[in-house]
Structure 1
Amino acid sequence: MTMPTRSAAVLASGTASAAKLFVAALAFTSAYVGFSAYSNASSATEPTRPVTLSARELPITVPVQETAAPVKAGEVAVTLLADGSAGCLRSYVARTTVANPDPGQSVSYGWKLTRWSPATKTWRSYLVDYAGFTGAGRPAEWRPQISGNPGWYRVELSVEGAEPVTSDRFQVSC
């Protein structure tokens, strides 16, 4: 006879838990509805006020040095882009012509922006990028950005099956 008593106790405690959960859900719903009503009541429209926007024209302090002239194979030309970047963000464009010794096959090449390390007295990799194409040759360009890291830089181009080509060094300061 102890079995029905245990079942009744479990059923009673389960019903009590369900009742507590129902009361909690009802309290939460009431609070949400009350807050929503308060929020809607307090959202009366305010009178409109005119807003005056102003802007000032700033001259470009860095001249545009970008040249679209093609660069012959075996040379890398690097120029500063005057893109109006704020702070110490500098954008550059590196250009060259990549010649493919076997036009029937694809050729891979890689760009590398290197930075001079005064501590080790070596050029260290800063950014890299890779590309490739199929055909006899074509102009190639890369647009690296340098942000907040003044120093001396240069761009290296490595074409599959050829010696690397290096640009003149250039200084970044801010």
Structure 2
Amino acid sequence: MPTKSAAVLASGTATAAKLFVAALAFTSAYVGFSAFGNAGSAAQPATKLTLSSREVPITEELASRGATAGRVTVSLLTSGDAGCATSYVARGLVVDPDADQAVHYRWKLVRWSPATRTWRTYLSDHDGFAAAEQAVEWRPQISGNPGWYRVELSVESAKSVKSARFQVSC
């Protein structure tokens, strides 16, 4: 009469044999696939590739982006098609007289209120940096609110700079 351990040993041997056959089949398939990939391929001709780069001084980069100190420019980024959602990009150049200290600045999108005859804050954002100067930009979005707007950039302990006014209409 066979014992329980002999039955376990026989089933374990059968499982090991199945795993060995599966591993052997996988290995032969891998080797065959590798040989197929190499058999039909000829040596690729050498291609010479030359990379070049040019260092652009920071002043050229700032000038190319249209940022100048004491001026805020506003450009249309996307026009509003669905629901009068219009995106703009406002750019300016912030100069820090003390480059060792961080400078903080604030953007404001203001809207003309005919009722009070004043400019009222519509959106605002703030940021900062630690450098001698930096081109800054902000991308406000106006959604379904036609009227006259302008962008203001204010730097701590300095007078704010205002863009020209622009009209949003739907």
Offset, 1:83: 6.2
- Rounded to whole Å, the distance in 2 between the matches of 1:131 and 1:152 is 25
TM norm structure 1: 0.59
Which residue of 120, 130, 143 maps to 2:139?
143
SS of residue paired to 1:125 = strand
Which amino acid in 2 is paired with 1:108?
H
CA offsets 1:124-161 (integer angstroms, 9 cap, x no match): 00000000000101100000000000000000001011
Which amino acid in 2 is paired with 1:120?
T
Offset, 1:85: 5.1
CA offsets 1:111-132 (integer angstroms, 9 cap, x no match): 0000000000000000000000
Name the structure 2 match of 1:86. 82
TM norm structure 2: 0.60
8 Å contact 2:79–2:85 — kept in the other structure?
no
For structure 1, which runs of at least 5 residues remain unmatched after alignment?
1-67
User: How many residues are matched?
Assistant: 107
For structure 2, which runs of at least 5 residues remain unmatched after alignment?
1-63
Name the structure 1 match of 2:66. 70
Pairing 1:156–2:152 present: yes
Offset, 1:82: 2.6
CA RMSD after TM alignment: 1.3
- Rounded to whole Å, the distance in 2 between the matches of 1:70 and 1:138 is 12
> Following TM superposition, where does structure 1 have runs of at least 4 consecutive aligned residues deviating by more than 2 angstroms?
82-87
8 Å contact 2:91–2:138 — kept in the other structure?
yes
Name the structure 2 match of 1:123. 119
User: What are the equivalent positions in structure 2 for 1:10-159 lying under 5 Å apart?
Assistant: 69-82=65-78, 86-159=82-155
- Rounded to whole Å, the distance in 2 between the matches of 1:82 and 1:124 is 24
Which amino acid in 2 is paired with 1:167?
S
